[in-house]
Amino acid sequence: MAYDIVLLPGDGIGIEVAHEAKQMLDLVQAELPVSFDIQEIPCGGQFYLEHGSRDWPEGSEERCSEADAVLLGAVGWPSPDGAGPVTMTDGNMAGWSPVIGNRARLDLYANVRKVKKLPGVKARIHGLHRSVWDEGTVDMVFIRENTEDLYAGVGGILPKFRPGEVATDTRVITRAASERVIRMAFELSNQRGHGAPVDGVKRVTSIAKDNVLYGCRLFQSVFKEIGAEYPDIEKDTAIVDAFTQWLIGQPEYYDVLVTTNMFGDILTDLASVLQGGMGMAVGCNVGDSHAMFEPIHGSAPKHSGQDRANPMAMILSTGEMCTWLGARHNDAHLQRAGALIEQAVGVVVEAGETLTYDLVGRQNAAPMSVVSAAIRDAFKSLADQ
Ligand SMILES: NC(=O)c1ccc[n+]([C@@H]2O[C@H](COP(=O)([O-])OP(=O)(O)OC[C@H]3O[C@@H](n4cnc5c(N)ncnc54)[C@H](O)[C@@H]3O)[C@@H](O)[C@H]2O)c1
């Protein structure tokens, strides 16, 4: 059976890293007894500028619903007048449909973001690339609620005020949506089993701003209720502002973390610094029947077209997709493909010779295409062993 994959390259470096993901999948098919039927669908700001009315072709929603999995590059493109990203007539950013639209329509309620520093990664901290965090101290997973909060689409411009004076975004937090991501966090801590790097304790940390916000109080009360069902797992809560300094100062304390949509968006970009930056960080959008995999970074227009973006987040996303599909279809070959992709990236990182600018600085950087080829070579050697 060929797995039906929809590939959404998007804009800017999204298109470039998606091309590398496609080459990775072609290699997986050549090396292992698995096959993919890959349909590429253009989308995003550049598509909207060319076609005028939609940010992806008609029928794309249905194709994403039918597919076994969706793989996304990144969307978002500057508008020609320089006033921000290309925006559609409905007020949404062009690229909304494949990202936020897919998350809502396919009920991809959890955004699972692994933050793990691969051996040898040197993070860029105040201008230098250095190993600030000891090996083995960064190994946590964030679960970001993915369907509501400030992204629920409730808001607008208040017409009784002059244009450009007042805008609102209403934050929606529900028990049902909170409950399912919180439960997933406890289940994941059990599955991981090894606990936090510092003490081996299985720990779920819930991050909110419950000292001020009603939605956060609801989220934390649901956390308390669900947590009572997991007596073997330590329950930990944090207020989001203070949490930011603990995350950077003591990452070894964390095992699984759960939070609301907007806080999760911001915190995981910050957390990516612990693993080498956004070029290394993966977002798995998962629901009960669908999933979409993407690097957490955007389209980085200023790096576009220069063959210099880090392809690792996208290639690791491809690996996560194989692992998820393999588990879902009980396909050991696909699960092996997922593990080998992660190992292949690890081999190239640890060798330290062929890395993009974000990991080694401009002077020592290799082009994206060369880094991707090195990962494919590593995959081939591992698969042939
Ligand atoms: N899911 C998505 O598709 C998604 C996510 C975030 C932002 N966006 C969109 O992307 C556009 C650009 O946003 P932005 O500049 O704020 O964020 P961005 O993630 O595109 O880039 C921010 C910076 O991070 C670094 N970076 C990101 N990815 C990298 C990679 N693979 N390799 C090396 N360095 C990398 C670069 O220094 C870049 O300038 C906007 O239109 C935004 O809306 C889309």
Residues 153, 180: contact at Cβ < 8 Å? no
Q: What is the pTM of this model?
A: 0.95
Indicate the residue among 280, 295, 327 that finishes a domain: 280
Cα→Cα distances 137→274, 276, 279, 316, 376, Å: 10, 13, 20, 20, 28
pLDDT score, position 4: 98
Mean pLDDT of all residues belonging to the chain: 95
Question: Is 116 inside any structural domain?
Answer: no
Indicate the residue among 280, 303, 333 that finishes a domain: 280
> Could you list the residue range(s) of the whole structural domain that residue 233 is in?
137-280
At 326, which CATH number?
3.40.718.10
Question: Is 181 inside any structural domain?
Answer: yes
- Choose one of 102, 261, 278, 315 to mutate for the ligand 1 pocket test, by most ligand atoms within 8 angstroms of C-beta: 278
Q: Are residues 177 and 260 in the same domain?
A: yes
pLDDT score, position 374: 98
pLDDT score, position 150: 95
Region 250-277: mean pLDDT is 96
Q: 109: which residues sit within 8 A by CB, 6+ positions away?
A: 145, 146, 147, 177, 180, 181, 286, 287
pLDDT score, position 125: 76
Q: Of 89, 106, 71, which is closest to residue 292 (Cα–Cα)?
A: 71
Question: Is 129 inside any structural domain?
Answer: no
Query: What tokens does 353 get?
Result: 């010779």
Residues 333, 326: contact at Cβ < 8 Å? yes
Q: Is 151 among the catalytic positions?
A: yes
Q: Is the per-residue pLDDT at 357 higher than 90?
A: yes
Q: For 332-341, what is each residue's pLDDT tens digit?
A: 999 999 999 9
Query: Residue 73, class by beta-carbon neighbours within 10 Å (0-12 exposed, 13-18 middle, 19+ buried)?
Result: buried
Q: For residue 385, give the 3-state DSSP assignment.
A: coil
Lowest mean pLDDT among 113-122, 132-141, 158-167: 158-167
Q: Are residues 322 and 216 in the same domain?
A: no
Cβ(294) – ligand 1 distance below 6 Å: yes
* Spacing, Cα 2 to ligand 1 middle (Å): 32
Q: For 41-76, what is each residue's pLDDT tens digit?
A: 999 999 999 998 999 999 999 999 999 999 999 999
Distance CA(286)–CA(269), nearest Å, equals: 19
Q: Are residues 244 and 291 in the same domain?
A: no
